[in-house]
A = this chain, B = another copy of it.
């Protein structure tokens, strides 16, 4: 198995090193062939390692970065003010090839801006997109964009399709993942003009395009990859989270109503636990900033040790699967066929 080095913005996220360091150690413990660079304030990270009774070594090193991008920092500060931030240095390690991928739980907007500034986009890709997986009836569905681009052209949506297909191919080991375009009706005549035009371009793209799909198809597993603009994708994702939370609360409150329901809950506990494990949102933590000339994974800011591990493992998976080369190949193939995409237009 290919040796992989992951740079971790160890200062990012709601819990900072307390979570990132423990997650890194857990990954090193469980997975061979993975090396980790913890990026951040050296003394803080050393203290945290000590607290975990761990130390640096051949597979784990610290790369000092003197600044930290906070959740409230405006983009300009993240981009120009803090040139030695753990976030930016993480991206630079990827850029210089010292790391194969970077992982951060920092502010999404800042991470996207910094990563794009440092790494640039792949040839043929105008705008990076945020992609993640969501649970579906048959497995998992890749959805993009989730908020990097609020106004998309049809060409951007086509590029999302190409990138998402590459991501699903690499992560799911599928040769030709199916792609659907998020719309409000299955008929091609529905939807706004940009979506209609994107549908025609996707149909003609050489991708395994299955046409329009609707919001519920994300969770039915109708296709492997769902393409949408970042506004719609973000709302769909957050609305889904909201429903899931409401259902969980309601179930809890029903089991807590009286002694009898509490007893029933106790008896059903193993089932409820298995159910929770299966639907655990932490297992889906880790969004790929797709389309950059380097692999950057964004972890949820509130991720715990288990969740942050999943984000690191996603980075490992994408490096080993050769994600960047796969996207570049698909763009080139599409370019050869159409001569219409991105900067080749």
Question: Interface of A with B (CB < 8 Å)?
Answer: 135-137, 147, 150-151, 182, 184, 190-193, 195, 214-220, 228, 230-232, 234-247, 249-251, 254-255, 257, 260-261, 263-265, 267-268, 270-272, 274-275, 278-279
Contact A236 B215 (CB under 8 A): yes
Contact B192 A151 (CB under 8 A): yes
A218 with B232, Cβ < 8 A, contacts A265-B271, A268-B265, A270-B261 known: no
Shortest A184–chain B CB gap in Å is 4
A219 with B242, Cβ < 8 A, contacts A191-B231, A247-B279 known: yes
Contact A264 B271 (CB under 8 A): yes
Contact A238 B264 (CB under 8 A): no
Contacts of A244 in B (CB 8 A): 243, 247
The residue among A240, A241, A242 with the most chain B CB atoms within 10 A of its own CB is A242
Closest to A213 in B: B238
A264 with B270, Cβ < 8 A, contacts A184-B230, A215-B242, A235-B236 known: yes
Interface of A is mostly: helix
Copies in the complex: 2
Contact B261 A237 (CB under 8 A): no
Contact A235 B246 (CB under 8 A): no
Contacts of A237 in B (CB 8 A): 215, 239
Assembled-state Cα–Cα distance A216/B245 (Å): 9
Contact B261 A135 (CB under 8 A): no
Assembled-state Cα–Cα distance A220/B157 (Å): 31
A254 with B274, Cβ < 8 A, contacts A215-B234, A235-B184, A268-B265 known: yes
Contact B219 A239 (CB under 8 A): yes
In the complex, besides A150-B191, A265-B268, 14 extra interface pairs with C-beta distance below 8 angstroms are: A137-B246, A184-B235, A191-B231, A195-B231, A215-B236, A215-B239, A215-B242, A216-B241, A220-B245, A220-B246, A231-B232, A236-B236, A240-B243, A255-B268
